Structure 1
Amino acid sequence: MLGELREELLQIRDNEYTVPADTDAYPYAQLLLECLGSADAELRDKLAYTTLAKWILRGEFRHKELRGLLLQALSPNGLFFQIGEAGTDSVFKRAFSVLVVPLALRVHERDPFLSEEQLESTAEQVIEYIYLEQDVRGYVPGKGWAHSVAHTADALAALARTLPDGSLMPAMLDAILYAVSRDDLIYAHGEDERLASAVLALRQADALADDQWKAWLLEFAVLETDWFPERDYIILNRKLLLRSLYFRADEGFAALCLDGLQALQQLEHG
């Protein structure tokens, strides 16, 4: 069956991702969501995800259908599929399901279809996922990108642009700080850049006061462990994010840069 599906998706790709005349896009999208969990990088990423993304952004789904796809992506069979596992193929289902969030929200930005409650629920589930995900591998040899941290950062950036108010933004920033507090792995696949995009999107939402930003940045210099090498892993992951923020900040983020540099100095000499 997967072989047949691959051939169909190759034909769809070669036909510029046009929905086949004999195909109902919404039921077919259910198959695409399942393929997001494949350990086959081409099927998962280049074919299933890309096709789904093209169809969502082209408006191939009615609002009700798109809400259904978002709910399925956030379900126990999507974002929370076998949550808690690490080093297994289940990470692909989770890490690619979260990418449905920014896709849906891009449609919502130009043609609103989600209620305030639905937007807040989506944000709460993405935040919860950050704390529960144990597998933060970037590139998996032989199986392609998992990139759960980078993909989640994309979802947070989209949420920052669409949430109706700033009530959940402190929780989003706390989750980002948690994400760069790993003590078992150093991010090496651009996770800091993607997380920086999420932070800057939150900044641009202009929902938090400067003292809140300062308090958050100063938390980067607070460490809960003195063990080696765990302490160094945490420091380096935090430094990577702070540096990315510094180099991307414009004049309007001067205070953010200053606070980030101060926190970075404390980490370097702590």
Structure 2
Amino acid sequence: MMDGQELKQELQQIKKNNYVVPEDVDAFPYAQWMMDYIGSTDAELRDELIYSTLERWITGEVFRQKELRGLLLQALSPDYLFYKIGEKGTDSVFKRAFSILIPPLILSVHEKEPFLSEEQLYSVAEQVLEYVYLEQDVRGYVDGRGWAHSTAHAADALDALARTIRNHEFSHAILTVVRHKVRLHDYIYINFEDERLVTAVMSLWNQNILSQEEWNNWLHSFTIIEDAPASQNDILVQNIRTFLRSLYFRALEQEGNSGFTVAILETLQKWHRF
């Protein structure tokens, strides 16, 4: 089995060759080896080579359906998505934050030609939701290490699930976890995390599963804040306002002056006193 440096050199060559699978390579075990280094602190290896190659191969029909299921199970396993979960400010975040990018790639293949059972889909959903709740390290760009961006990456997974699973209870679960992720009081999102979360919310809106009243209730829940030190409240309010503004303009662009857009604006206006 090759080490990280050898893998990097090989992947650089594969990238130069437009991500064509080399003739002497069996793509599935090779992808499993790539996954072993998906948490590398080398941004080029992790992001530009491993993730980019996996993205091209997964969406480019390189793998059989059975192999895609294998990669999905690997990405969602305790050694990947839940690796050292709960740590903050450590390098373990890279393994988790890049493992969560694999499910949306595989779900995008499933969208075109379904191959996952309902039971498998709900298992993926359950693990993704659990990860989003448990992830404590929400840093975006990390100096010397590149992107961690766990919230944005998790939002991509939530977006894929919102497009794939049509279920009333699960729709509420997505909205609840998005609210949980927005309502941070110890970190200000500065790397467009709000935009990625909004994409997931709009995918859910497009499914037309929830009533206007249910959407209104969800929006209203953003106006309730707990007693906390002023500095923490300032961070919380900033995150909420940024998210609601992004949601408003995305909804306005898509829906025009709809009931949904008006409800978002009314929620946003309640924050003007801060």
| Maintained 8 Å contact 1:186/1:236 | yes
Aligned partners of 2:273, 2:228: CA distance in 1, in Å? 14
Paired residue secondary structure (2:45): helix
| Maintained 8 Å contact 2:182/2:240 | yes
Of the three residues 54, 59, 65, the one matched with 2:67 is: 65
| Maintained 8 Å contact 1:84/1:134 | yes
Shift of 1:251: 2.8
Aligned partners of 1:179, 1:262: CA distance in 2, in Å? 21
The percent of aligned pairs where both chains have the same amino acid is 54
Indicate the residue corresponding to 2:268 in structure 1. Answer: 264
Give the direction of change, closer, same or farther, for the CA distance of 1:13–1:264 in structure 2 (3 Å limit): same
Indicate the residue corresponding to 1:242 in structure 2. Answer: 244
Matched, 1:91 2:90: no
Aligned partners of 1:244, 1:60: CA distance in 2, in Å? 36
Question: Unaligned stretches of 5+ in structure 1?
Answer: none
Aligned residue pairs, count: 270
Of the three residues 206, 213, 230, the one matched with 1:211 is: 213
| Maintained 8 Å contact 2:31/2:54 | yes
Question: Unaligned stretches of 5+ in structure 2?
Answer: none
| Maintained 8 Å contact 1:116/1:164 | no
Indicate the residue corresponding to 2:81 in structure 1. Answer: 79
Indicate the residue corresponding to 1:3 in structure 2. Answer: 5
Paired residue secondary structure (1:170): helix
Aligned partners of 1:36, 1:222: CA distance in 2, in Å? 39
Q: Which ranges of 4 or more aligned residues in structure 1 deviate by more than 6 Å?
A: none
Indicate the residue corresponding to 1:201 in structure 2. Answer: 203
CA displacement, residues 171-205 of structure 1 (integer Å, 9 cap, x when unaligned): 11000000011111100000010011010001001
Q: What TM-score does the superposition give when structure 2 sets the normalisation length?
A: 0.96
Aligned partners of 2:95, 2:239: CA distance in 1, in Å? 25
Q: What TM-score does the superposition give when structure 1 sets the normalisation length?
A: 0.97
Q: How large is the Cα RMSD of the aligned pairs?
A: 1.1
Aligned partners of 2:4, 2:107: CA distance in 1, in Å? 29
Matched, 1:16 2:14: no
Indicate the residue corresponding to 1:228 in structure 2. Answer: 230
